[in-house]
Chain A
């Protein structure tokens, strides 16, 4: 083979190889269409959750269901969602306690304290912000917002630097000790994209949690939005949370 022939072959070889390479994944995708719902169109949804604080009974079942559904470590300090007990005292002091840290059953309820003026439970989770600060700080683009408005973490890209954990104003992220990557609520992305409810909503006994699609036409969340006075957590940060609270006490941070 002389120089000229070699060059000629090379010029033909590389584009051909590249075309094959480009075609290969497409062929692969066609081979297994069952696992990935191809008819799901993310651009047609904009998911959110409503929380009616007045209805939460603090049973912690949402936390347990979330852990089971999403393989969250059992230790009582890793959560994708958790419940806080608020106690507001006569002198204005506010005590907040995370009741989800207790293992198993609630210990005896705290004794009656007449100086407590109001007390209630507040479910918390990732607010799936429209402007998520965690996404902005991620140095490797591992955390991102999908077109349907859910903030996800790419476990394969995450380097475990914890910037996003620091950046989240709601404390919604933790470092998963098994994968050594950041982890957080995904609204149960694998469920909602199949038309199911997130696990926490599925088990909530009092319908304190309402899951819905803010782009939906006939949607419970849209009605929830219409009939309630809605507050979001830390509105001054302009993160624009999509977790909407009704009957939220002004003391809740």
Chain B
């Protein structure tokens, strides 16, 4: 059967229109008009191409093996070089272009080591006004391997908050050693030798039973058998501030 001429032409016109529309949609007009994906891919690429400011410890090590080794064996092993020396990618790329600063002032160390009650228990902190005032920290401590020139004798350096709290309490005059047995190693390698903690009511009873013989014994005594039931005393009294937890 032969199609009429006008139908064939109409067919061709429709086919051309469809082809043009498809061409426009899929070839001529950019995909970014219809979808956010190309934009997002381009944005991610731009983000990836941004310049580095911090080179990272591994790069510093390539030229500063000595400082790296020193630091790696000491207490500052977890601190990145650029924490103290500032972002140094430009120096690492061209060592003569920019010299990283040497943070020798007391303030640089005190940002981490100045006493602050919110810092975690055990983190070494000093009171800036009392700890060798006005002398640069780096004259006594090597910043890359900060061993104190002599082992600390006080507990304040790492337990400032407890020490300060106790100082305000009725237990102010009790030395820490009356309740904790501290190994000397704890003062230099604290986590490797943790002190003891009271383990029974008798530790407190030593000073709080009527007629206690301990030289530091308290005038205030309780009936050990009845007072506080079977609980250990520090479940109700905070031993470092006993009257504060009534």
A: which residues have CB within 8 A of B?
A: 14-15, 17-19, 21-22, 35-37, 40, 42, 54-61, 65, 68-70, 85-87, 105-106, 109-110, 112, 114, 116, 119-121, 141, 144, 146, 152-157, 186, 189-191, 193-194, 196-197, 199, 202-207
Contacts and interface: CB of A to CB of B under 8 A. Distances in A.
B100 interface: no
Given A65-B83, A193-B48, A202-B80, A116 B117 contact: yes
Contacts of B56: 196-197, 202
B43 A190 contact: no
B23 interface: yes
Contacts of A191: 52, 54
A119 B164 CA distance: 14
Contacts of A121: 118-119
B145 interface: no
Which of B45, B79, B117 gathers most chain A CB within 10 Å?
B117
B39 A141 contact: yes
A186 B123 contact: no
A152 B80 CA distance: 27
A207 B119 contact: no
B165 interface: yes
A38 B27 CA distance: 25
A157 B164 contact: no
A54 B120 contact: yes
Interface string B48-89: 111111101100000000000000000010111011001100
Contacts of B164: 112
Contacts of A153: 43
A141 B114 contact: no
A88 B171 CA distance: 23
Interface in B129-182: 161, 164-165, 168
| In the A-B complex, the 6 residue pairs with the closest CB atoms | A154-B43, A141-B36, A190-B50, A203-B83, A109-B116, A18-B27
